[in-house]
């Protein structure tokens, strides 16, 4: 056991490592894990790590889970460090790298925190988890809860990225719709308390979650043969990822794996919601909350970032900086990253490329510096961004409109939704559904297409066959909604209203 103690960053109070705590019970401050680094150094070395399989858990000794049998993993970590030749040339840089977190199990860096959090609560014996957030965290949590066999309750705000909503539904979580992020968190906490605190409440600033995020720093340094780059650029919402990268750098330096820690940390936010950047520019140490929201980078649009002051400290201690970028700069970055380097990033992730371009143009980053941009999530989680990428191309715009009318990329599917609505009123069969689609909803399909939709809904567990009737050589299958299908239909109606 290498976890030495747990300490509050705010009030300094220390807690036993065996005690269950996610935030400080005394002041609700952020907790940090302190490890016996000298003991770790006696058993772990760079050569030992080199022989292990790439993953978050190759750094087990640096993480708060005590027993390896409690690890809940989907194969997270060990992501590619992508050297950019074409993008570097376009930006006027000599050494540009991308830490491609889109290849994590649910398509985002957040899996690093979730695997540690879920493993630790399994160690504590919890049987259910609850979350009041949308986006990558909700999608990741439901996946890892499914893997661990835990019940999962999610309160989703109405403003949610479609791709992440798909994921959250697919993993079979119990979902309720809330008005906004704040309302979702309140409802989730109320649900946990009313249940006698038998469920674990997950937030991106929980001790165990944050510890998983620092493995980004471990991997980057190891991939550079234990010599850190000159700068690491990170999309910044809650401030947790950036501040934990700095914690990881410091731990590697203290243990002697790094000879220096001269890396600059740079936080990037969208102009629509940039409280950390605004506070940094004003020279303050206390985060100034904002009432603004980001119109496109939803996942990092945190009005009052809980780890914001930690992020500010990391930026200043590392002699880094903070920068905000416009929606247009973000969209341009999504496009250039995909076209030049073959990585389709969601808008929040592409802020690092937009921020890098701005800093290079301003002379804040020199052409000779070795720079790593962290690409935190894949573009398929935000398919709507493709609308902007085809603007001006008439043929592609027309095709995209046709595809969107079928809603294969942007919704569960308008046709499928109508089919669910039809079956919710009474059990029905293919030909009857085809007639109602045409008469009531003006949806013109060939009958085989209706049966294809029915097969996909059945495969997804949203409908099931209730009975069959035979008329001569014709067999008629009737369908009804499953409990899951009824729940999904209710949630989709709630969002629509």
Give the span between the Cα atoms of 295 and 272, in whole angstroms: 7
- Flag whether pLDDT at 68 surpasses 80: yes
Question: Any idea where the domains of the chain sit in the sequence?
Answer: 81-106+210-387, 412-496
> Alpha-carbon dihedral of residues 162, 163, 165, 170, nearest 10 degrees?
140
User: Which residues sit opposite 375 in a β-bridge?
Assistant: 100
Give the span between the Cα atoms of 277 and 262, in whole angstroms: 21
This prediction has a pTM of 0.80
In this prediction, residues 52-64 reach a mean pLDDT of 97
Tokens of 61: 């000794």
pLDDT band at 409 (very low <50, low <70, confident <90, very high): very low
Tokens of 135: 């986006």
Give the span between the Cα atoms of 45 and 76, in whole angstroms: 22
- Flag whether pLDDT at 410 surpasses 70: no
Phi, psi at 102, each rounded to 5°: -70, -15
- Flag whether pLDDT at 175 surpasses 90: no
pLDDT band at 197 (very low <50, low <70, confident <90, very high): confident
DSSP 219: H
pLDDT at 401: 59
Distance of CA 253 to the CA centre of its chain: 28
CA diameter of the chain = 82
Q: How many CB atoms lie within 10 A of CB 412?
A: 21
- Flag whether pLDDT at 391 surpasses 70: no
pLDDT at 69: 96
Cα 206–249–266 angle (5° rounding)? Answer: 80
Give the span between the Cα atoms of 374 and 465, in whole angstroms: 47
In this prediction, residues 98-125 reach a mean pLDDT of 96
pLDDT band at 56 (very low <50, low <70, confident <90, very high): very high
pLDDT band at 449 (very low <50, low <70, confident <90, very high): confident
User: Across the beta sheet with 14-15, what order do the strands follow?
Assistant: 14-15, 3-8, 31-35
Tokens of 194: 């009313």
At the top level of CATH, which class does the domain 81-106+210-387 belong to? alpha beta
> What does the pLDDT look like over 137-161, one tens digit per residue?
989 999 999 999 999 999 988 777 6
CATH number for the domain formed by residue range(s) 412-496: 1.10.10.10
């Amino acid at each position: 056991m290498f976890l030495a103690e747990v300490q509050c960053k705010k009030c300094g109070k220390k807690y036993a490592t065996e005690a269950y705590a996610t935030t400080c019970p005394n002041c609700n401050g952020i907790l940090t894990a302190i490890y016996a680094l000298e003991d770790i150094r006696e058993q772990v070395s760079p050569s030992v790590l080199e022989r292990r399989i790439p993953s978050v858990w190759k750094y087990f000794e640096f993480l708060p889970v005590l027993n390896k049998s409690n690890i809940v993993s989907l194969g997270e970590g060990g992501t590619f460090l992508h050297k950019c030749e074409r993008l570097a040339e376009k930006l006027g840089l000599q050494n540009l790298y991308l830490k491609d977190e889109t290849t994590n199990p649910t398509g985002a860096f957040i899996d690093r925190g979730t695997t540690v959090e879920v493993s630790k609560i399994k160690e504590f014996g919890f049987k259910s988890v609850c979350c009041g957030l949308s986006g990558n965290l909700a999608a990741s949590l439901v996946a890892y809860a499914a893997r661990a066999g835990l019940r999962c309750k999610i309160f989703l705000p109405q403003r949610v990225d479609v791709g992440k909503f798909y994921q959250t539904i697919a993993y079979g979580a119990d979902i309720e719709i809330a008005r906004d992020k704040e309302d979702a968190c309140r409802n989730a906490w109320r649900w946990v308390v009313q249940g006698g605190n038998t469920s674990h409440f997950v937030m991106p600033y929980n001790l165990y979650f944050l510890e998983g995020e620092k493995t980004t720093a471990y991997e980057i340094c190891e991939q550079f043969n234990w010599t850190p780059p000159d700068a690491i650029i990170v999309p910044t919402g809650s401030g947790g990822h950036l501040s934990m990268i700095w914690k990881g750098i410091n731990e590697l330096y203290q243990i002697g794996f790094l000879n220096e820690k001269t890396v600059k940390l740079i936080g990037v936010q969208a102009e629509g919601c940039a409280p950390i950047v605004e506070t940094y520019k004003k020279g303050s140490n206390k985060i100034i909350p904002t009432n603004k929201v980001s119109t496109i980078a939803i996942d990092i649009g945190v009005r009052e970032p809980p780890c914001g002051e930690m992020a500010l400290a990391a930026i200043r201690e590392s002699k880094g900086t903070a920068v905000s970028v416009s929606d247009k700069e973000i969209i341009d970055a999504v496009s250039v990253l995909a076209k030049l380097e073959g990585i389709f990033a969601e808008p929040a992730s592409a802020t690092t490329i937009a921020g890098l371009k701005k800093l290079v143009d301003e002379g804040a980053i020199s052409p000779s510096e070795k720079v790593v941009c962290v690409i935190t999530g894949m573009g398929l989680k935000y398919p709507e961004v493709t609308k902007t990428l085809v603007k001006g191309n008439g043929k592609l715009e027309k095709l995209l409109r046709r595809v969107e009318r079928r809603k294969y990329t942007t919704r569960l599917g308008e046709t499928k939704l109508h089919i669910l609505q039809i079956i919710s009123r009474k059990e029905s069969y293919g030909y009857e559904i085809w007639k109602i689609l045409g008469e009531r909803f003006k949806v013109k399909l060939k009958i085989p297409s209706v049966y294809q939709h029915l097969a996909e809904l059945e495969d997804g567990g949203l409908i099931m066959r209730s009975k069959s009737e035979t008329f001569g050589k014709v067999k008629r299958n009737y369908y009804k909604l499953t409990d899951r299908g009824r729940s999904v239909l209710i949630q989709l109606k709630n969002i629509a209203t």
